[in-house]
Structure 1
Amino acid sequence: MQRKLALAVIAAAGLTLATGTPAFSHGYTTSPPSRSYRCAQQQVANCGSIQYEPQSVEGPKGFPSAGPADGHICSANHSEFSQLDDPRGGTWPAASMTSGASYNFTWTFTAIHATTSFRYFITKTSYDPTKPLTRAALESTPFLTQNYNGSRPPNPVTHRGTLPTRHGRQLILAVWDIADTTNAFYSCSDVVFS
């Protein structure tokens, strides 16, 4: 009897894994370090609950024509992650970048999901790091796109791309578009170009 019960539990678990659920799909950028990653690493104080779940910045996909509202892009419209939208007077720790150089962009996942693409946007030269992120502050076209056509990326995954020409403090928005849900993951990274 116990063996039959054990086999039934294993079969049910296998069915659950085979069908998959989007709730287990999460990730964030570690290179350049995202705001959520910096919070989880305790490099920034007063982060709220994002420090315990940096992988959970998930919101509607379709950016930039859809997706999170202006001023709430970095939190993906999650009020419990609103600390990510706070520009903190432009004092978020920033990764050093070299204008026009090649760079490895890295995502880390707590679970991997079927993927449409990864897209990387950068702020315009007129960007004001003391204000919450808006679409008007970002270039409308990604400077790097990696298409996956529904396949699952490795964990972690790295995309090599060329950085745009910029000077001073900027922000890179990485968007991970999920293939079989209506959502995407949003990852904001503060950077400074020398």
Structure 2
Amino acid sequence: MRRKIGAAVIGLSAACLTLVPAGGAAGHGYTDTPTSRQVFCAQGAVTDCGEIQWEPQSVEGPKGFPSHGPSDGTLCAGGNSRFAELDDPRGGAWPATRVAAGQNYTFRWRLTARHATTDFRYYLTNDRYRPDRPLTRADLDLTPFLTVPYNGRIPDATVSHQGRLPAGKTGRQMILAVWTIADTGNAFYACSDVEF
């Protein structure tokens, strides 16, 4: 009888292990300051968002941006086709957070599951950016204007970073925020439309 119970426990354990996704990060998160596209979808401020309206924290894709990571045109969805609505420029009509060039700004992430972290990086679009087209690397200054190293530490559930927005910016731009996970091959991506 003990052998049958032991075999059943081993079989059940093996079955449960196959349900755990391999290689995925345990961490999930999104930016809410400035408000990201996924938050606007989750709040219902933007409609026809697909699955992201229920999972604003799940924009996970390959890490290594800008040399690696999601392909151009899929950056806002982290290369994740489930959330392709985030890459749709909607004619440049996404709601935008008003900011000022050169101002000190507090950037905030909400982490629904925390994870060992390499860093948080913030990129801003350049003069070639057109808000009516999907975001590409050519649209961004590929040197982050703010990098916050974490060296493998686990951040709090709410993370705020003080930084200065680049000077000389005008009009509609976009901030791409990247949370790089330390012990997996993934990062989390968030696009925030801003108006200088």
Q: Same fold (TM over 0.5)?
A: yes
Structure 1 residues 138-162: Cα deviation after superposition (integer angstroms, max 9, x where no partner): 0010000000000011120000000
Q: Which amino acid counterpart does residue 180 of structure 1 have in structure 2?
A: D
Q: Is the 8 A contact 2:123 2:144 kept in 1?
A: yes
Q: Distance in 2 between matches of 1:97 and 1:159?
A: 16
Correspondence for 1:184: 187
Q: Which amino acid counterpart does residue 189 of structure 2 have in structure 1?
A: Y
* Identical columns (%): 59
Deviation, structure 1 residue 126:
2.6
Matching of residues 101-112 of structure 1 within 5 Å: 101-112=103-114
Correspondence for 1:3: none
Matching of residues 112-127 of structure 1 within 5 Å: 112-127=114-129
Q: Distance in 2 between matches of 1:91 and 1:191?
A: 11
TM-score, reference length from structure 2: 0.87
TM-score, reference length from structure 1: 0.87
Deviation, structure 1 residue 89:
0.4
CA-based RMSD: 1.5
Correspondence for 1:151: 153
Structure 1 residues 19-54: Cα deviation after superposition (integer angstroms, max 9, x where no partner): xx8543100000001101110011101000000000
Q: Is the 8 A contact 2:63 2:186 kept in 1?
A: yes
Structure 1 residues 123-181: Cα deviation after superposition (integer angstroms, max 9, x where no partner): 00231000000000000100000000000111200000000121000000000000000
Correspondence for 1:90: 92
Q: Which amino acid counterpart does residue 46 of structure 1 have in structure 2?
A: D
Q: Distance in 2 between matches of 1:137 and 1:192?
A: 16
| Number of aligned residue pairs | 175
Name stretches of at least 5 consecutive residues in structure 1 with no aligned partner.
1-11, 13-20
Q: Distance in 2 between matches of 1:164 and 1:125?
A: 13
Q: Which amino acid counterpart does residue 193 of structure 2 have in structure 1?
A: D
Correspondence for 1:4: none
Correspondence for 1:160: 162
The structure that has the greater radius of gyration is 2
Correspondence for 1:17: none
Name stretches of at least 5 consecutive residues in structure 2 with no aligned partner.
1-12, 14-22
Matching of residues 29-44 of structure 1 within 5 Å: 29-44=31-46
Correspondence for 1:77: 79
Q: Is the 8 A contact 1:116 1:148 kept in 2?
A: yes
Off by >6 Å, runs of 4+ in structure 1: none
Q: Say whether 1:170 aligns with 2:170.
A: no
Structure 1 residues 83-102: Cα deviation after superposition (integer angstroms, max 9, x where no partner): 00000000000000011000
Q: Distance in 1 between matches of 2:88 and 2:57?
A: 18
Q: Is the 8 A contact 1:125 1:167 kept in 2?
A: no
Q: Which amino acid counterpart does residue 47 of structure 1 have in structure 2?
A: C
Deviation, structure 1 residue 76:
1.1
Q: Which amino acid counterpart does residue 182 of structure 1 have in structure 2?
A: G
